[in-house]
């Protein structure tokens, strides 16, 4: 069983994807980041991606939400 109420654990990126109905596969395709890395970013709150990875993710996120800031998703 995952999470506090049985749901899968999610990071801020994971919750953002879920709230918009966007798949991890979409993010992996847009960013050219491996599906495993995207999965880790979306589920592990303690995972710290590289700055280059954060930039790629934020570029894709801003296609959907132009006002998104990296501080909303990552501890930078």
* Rounded CA separation 41/47 (Å): 6
Give the tens place of pLDDT for each residue, 25-76.
Answer: 999 999 999 999 999 999 999 999 999 999 999 999 999 999 999 999 998 7
Q: Is 12 exposed, middle or buried (0-12, 13-18, 19+ CB in 10 A)?
A: middle
Those residues with Cβ within 8 angstroms of residue 21's Cβ, 6 or more apart along the chain or in another chain: none
Per-residue confidence (pLDDT) for residue 5, from 0 to 100: 56
Per-residue confidence (pLDDT) for residue 62, from 0 to 100: 98
Higher pLDDT, 7 or 32: 32
* CATH number of the domain within which 66 lies: 1.10.260
The answer on pLDDT for 1 being more than 50 is: no
- Whether residue 24 is contained in a domain is answered as yes
DSSP state of 73: T
- Whether residue 54 is contained in a domain is answered as yes
- If one counts the domains in the chain, the total is 1
Which residue range forms the structural domain that includes residue 16? Answer: 12-72
Q: In the beta sheet, which residues pair with residue 49?
A: none
- Whether residue 19 is contained in a domain is answered as yes
pLDDT grade for 8, boundaries at 50, 70 and 90: confident
């Amino acid at each position: 069983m995952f999470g506090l109420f049985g749901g899968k654990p999610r990071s801020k990126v994971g919750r953002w994807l879920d709230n918009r109905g966007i798949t991890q596969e979409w993010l992996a395709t847009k960013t050219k980041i491996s599906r495993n890395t995207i999965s880790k970013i979306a589920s592990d709150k303690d995972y710290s991606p590289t700055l280059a990875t954060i930039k790629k993710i934020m570029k894709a996120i801003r296609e959907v939400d132009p006002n998104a800031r990296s501080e909303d998703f990552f501890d930078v």
